[in-house]
Structure 1
Amino acid sequence: MLDKIRKMLGVKDLPEEVTPLYRGARSEREALILLKEARRRDESRRRRAMADLEELDRAEEELLEEGKGDITDARKLMLARRVKEIRWKMQELNNRIENIYNKRLKVLNEHVASLETILELTSEALPDKKTMEDLAIKAKQLLEDLDKTKELAEGISLTPEAARPDDEEKEILREMERPEPETEKIAEKKEEVRPVKEREKKAEAPRKEKEPPEILFEE
């Protein structure tokens, strides 16, 4: 079947993203159904991964905001470690979206379009419902086998936490430092200037001279 597909598409080699699907098909029509099912599953996974990214982004913002509050250093360090884990997970999801789903979907779309054009010319009949269901299950199994060799490792590392923050955690702790409000800075500046001005006013104020005692003239 692979040789037949190569000749039909006019290519020397087939991408690894679609080779298992072509190998599992018994005809061009079945190959097209497997490709479409694989595309549908990858589109669903990509949407789910993007939704997870949004949730993780919101969680990161909440933890950073909590870290800026009046809390203990131990609590801040715990929050920094949770932020670090969230960022690792977000990086894994971004890599999965870019290097697996987007890349594979591009290849799947190209091959679906090519096979649809060929099958329109040959007018091959569609398989029955039972065959379509079996092909959907086969496409799922083939994709899972392919993912075992392509997908990045999921989950957060469970290595024991060190007593002291590492460089990445220190950077996150610095992000949690709430900037001093401008109003407080202005108030402090006024407090510093006020005593000086008061002393200047006291120095500038003229001393009140004592009035001479009244002289009583006897008539």
Structure 2
Amino acid sequence: MKRILPVVLLALSASALAAKTTVTIAGQTVQVESTVIGGQTYINLKQLQTALSAAGGANQKASVTGCVNEPLFNGVWRLRVSKVEAVADPDGGSLNFYHIVTQISNGTNKTLSPDSAGIQIGNAYNIFMANGDSIAAPTSTSVSFQTKTWAKLPQGAGETMDFWFRPSGTPTLDQMKANMPQKFLFEVKPDKLDKSLKVAYTVQDPSFRVNLTCTK
């Protein structure tokens, strides 16, 4: 008699042998480890649940959501993620980084600085991996990032904000490219909006959450 494995598996149709499989459920796309048996690809349901929760499942932070290259708007700020890549240390060090490039612009008719309207160095700027891990960008130690949050932006004006995420350990570039981040959280704090500016967010939570596995 064959023994039944003590793991529940979900079968997915797939034509290629791969260490990871992309799954989309209720609009959420994640990558999980997979096993091919008899020409069918199988994944562990518990791992899938963990990945979906990390990438924006039942416990996700309510935010303005979208894809890479998609303009997003919270009533005050417009945000677009234009690039997601794994790169070598730009300063010539031995560590590799995930690099995310964003364009942020003033969507109101007032002159604003990001710092006075919810975008500050102490906010959460995180990426989420397929296995549920999150990595934070150390913006509080970046003088250039703080300078950008203090910049005065008139109506329609914007600037580029770069985020650098260093994974734990010392993965190679090839390993990082095979394990790219799934989500990017750009936190905007409504309680830090200067009321004297007389502008308002049009959503309850003005933070941005970008699905890095889709492109518009």
Q: Same fold per TM (> 0.5)?
A: no
Structure with more helix by fraction = 1
Q: Whose relative contact order is higher, 1 or 2, with alpha carbons under 8 Å and at least 6 apart?
A: 1
- TM-score in terms of structure 2 length: 0.22
- TM-score in terms of structure 1 length: 0.22
Structure with more strand by fraction = 2
